[in-house]
Amino acid sequence: MNNLEIKKLDYIFKPKNMAIVGVSLINPLFPGNIIYNKNLFEYPVNIYPVNPKGGTLEGNIVYKNLGEIPVDLDLAVLMISAKLVPDELKKCGEFGVKSAIIGSGGFSELGSDGVKLENRLIEISKKYDDLPFMGPNCLGIHSKYCDTFILPSERLATPPSGNVAVISQSGGFLIDQIFSKFHEREIGIFSAANIGNKALINESILLKYYDREPGIDTIVIYNEGFKKNTGKEIIEFAQQSDKDIIIIKGGKSKMGAKAAMSHTASLASNINLISSSFRQAGIIEAISESELVSYTKAISFGLSPLKENKIVILSISGGHGVLAADLAAYYRLNLVEFTDEQKKEMKNKVNPVIASIGSFENPIDLTGSVNDTDIENCLELLLNFDNVEGIVILLVPYVPTISMQIGRRLGNILRTIQNNKPVVAYCPWLKIYGIIINGLELNRTIPVASTIEEAIQMMRGLYLKGLKYKKRKLSKN
């Protein structure tokens, strides 16, 4: 697809009129019916059901074929058996439907007959002016305009609206690991796509499409294997784009690759080579769903990248600080060594009890004798130290001398100083501390992790982001 054709994907992500081909007149839980009902009642798109028998559904006309629908269709979602899909896609072309999502399975994952069917779909697309289609074997898309996922809204943990776009080869991973985790951690998404077998629309094409959206800053990819030239195209895109790209790759092991082949007919890549290429291009690779969530949250908050890899751990619990230091070493983050003068300054900014029993090495331990002002004063000092680039705050609010307003108070310190040094926090992710978490994250100031490791992973993500800009600077010189 050239740049002009990339714009055709608006018909998929932003349709005004959409048809569901394959609804049941007797089974309300049929996948096509779930998509139809969800869009009918919850989204602004005009929705039209299709079944060869005709009839009514939710009080609306069920059309016998696409040609009967009295409006120009931007999108047709095909929820029919695989063997019927080519003829139906051909009808899309004949009746002027501008795009399609093929939810049906039973193509290349079923062998040579399925491959022939997929090839037939590509031939039909070319015949009708490169008719864009997503799939087959996919959930399609989720956006503020429509949702083609075959799950009722009450069963889908939907993330809030935000600046992250998602491309996933697996529908299950998208729903369970990305949507659920992003919902829980309040990571906002702009739109999401499950591309399945990606016979036509693949990661490279969607990256180019998302690149045009000013509301998208971060792009998350789950991949099980690249088709010919796609990996190279993604790397070339990343080298030029200002979007942050985070990828998690399935099928790295021999058994995982075998599973991926049976799942979506993906061929395994040379993992060491592809990971090295990702790093060179500035693509951030996560190796677990925990890293994926942590990296995405910190980066989507718009925090500045770490360029010199110099961080401080500020804790009110010695044990928390020790574990964080170990994790920092594991994730290859460097802890700043304070000068005697800096230690003296910190001691002078806290109450006498902490000054006598606390530790002002790195990690800093302010102990259980801490109050809001002690933490505020230390944070303000650390932000002004030239040798400090980023700060991890380990906030354990069980201590009664810490108020429930500590989140807002620490956020105000950052908003007052405005020197763009990234600060992330750990706070127990419990309802009783919601006011603290909300205060920290107010105006996307300090992202909050639910575990100490997640907080360290956030800083690791910012360090990996910094490598991208360091490489660009070196290449320009």
Residue 49, preceding bond cis, omega within 30 degrees?
Answer: no
Closest alpha carbon to 361 in 321, 394, 390: 321
Task: State the angle between helix axes of 230-240 and 271-281 in degrees (0 to 180), rounded to the nearest 10.
Answer: 20
Give domain 310-473's CATH number out of 3.40.50.1240, 3.50.50.60, 3.40.50.2300, 3.40.50.261. 3.40.50.261
What are the Cα distances from residue 102, in Å, to 32, 38, 66, 407? 11, 18, 15, 46
Amino acid at 111: G
- Classify residue 240 by burial, with Cβ atoms within 10 Å: 0-12, 13-18, 19+: exposed
Q: What is the pLDDT of residue 253?
A: 47
* Burial profile 19-51: b = 16 or more Cβ within 10 angstroms, e = fewer: bbbbbbeeeeebbbbbbbbbbbeebebbbbbbb
Closest alpha carbon to 139 in 108, 112, 117, 170: 170
Farthest CA pair distance, the chain: 83
State the pLDDT confidence band at 266, using cuts at 50, 70 and 90. very low
Closest alpha carbon to 88 in 47, 121, 55: 121
For residue range 383-437, what is the model confidence (pLDDT) as tens digits?
Answer: 999 999 999 999 999 999 999 999 999 999 999 999 999 999 999 999 999 999 9
Q: What is the pLDDT of residue 263?
A: 44
Where are the domain boundaries for CATH 3.40.50.261 in the chain? 157-300, 310-473
For residue range 183-206, what is the model confidence (pLDDT) as tens digits?
Answer: 999 999 999 999 999 999 999 999
Closest alpha carbon to 235 in 267, 182, 281: 281
Q: What is the pLDDT of residue 408?
A: 97
Can you tell me the distance from the alpha carbon of 287 to that of 290, in angstroms, rounded to the nearest whole number? 8
For residue range 277-290, what is the model confidence (pLDDT) as tens digits?
Answer: 899 999 999 999 99
The neighbour count for residue 249, using CB atoms within 10 Å, is 23
Q: Which fold has domain 3-134?
A: Rossmann fold (3.40.50)
Q: Helix, strand, coil: what percent of the chain each, to 5?
A: 45, 15, 35
Q: What is the CA radius of gyration of the chain?
A: 25
Residue 472 has pLDDT above 70, yes or no: no
Can you tell me the distance from the alpha carbon of 231 to that of 236, in angstroms, rounded to the nearest whole number? 9
State the pLDDT confidence band at 264, using cuts at 50, 70 and 90. very low
DSSP string across 48-60:
EEE-TT-EEETTE
Amino acid at 303: L
Residue 105 has pLDDT above 90, yes or no: no
For residue range 216-245, what is the model confidence (pLDDT) as tens digits?
Answer: 999 999 999 888 888 899 999 999 999 999
Can you tell me the distance from the alpha carbon of 238 to that of 232, in angstroms, rounded to the nearest whole number? 10
The C-alpha angle 327, 330, 335, rounded to 5 degrees, equals 70
For residue range 313-334, what is the model confidence (pLDDT) as tens digits?
Answer: 999 999 999 999 999 999 999 9
Q: What are phi and psi of 397, to 5 degrees?
A: -80, 15
Please give the CATH architecture assigned to the domain spanning 157-300.
3-Layer(aba) Sandwich (3.40)
> Who's near 332: CB < 8 A, 6+ residues apart?
309, 460, 463
Q: What is the pLDDT of residue 226?
A: 87
Average pLDDT over residues 50-79: 97
Answer yes or no: are the C-beta atoms of 318 and 461 closer than 8 Å: no
Q: What is the pLDDT of residue 338?
A: 98
Where are the domain boundaries for CATH 3.40.50.720 in the chain? 3-134
Predicted TM-score (pTM) of this structure: 0.92
For residue range 124-157, what is the model confidence (pLDDT) as tens digits?
Answer: 999 999 999 999 999 999 999 999 999 999 999 9
- Which element (helix H / strand E) includes 236? helix 230-240
Can you tell me the distance from the alpha carbon of 98 to that of 112, in angstroms, rounded to the nearest whole number? 29
Can you tell me the distance from the alpha carbon of 421 to that of 392, in angstroms, rounded to the nearest whole number? 11
Residue 82, sorted as left (phi over 0), alpha (psi -120 to 50) or beta, turns out to be: alpha
Can you tell me the distance from the alpha carbon of 85 to that of 301, in angstroms, rounded to the nearest whole number? 42
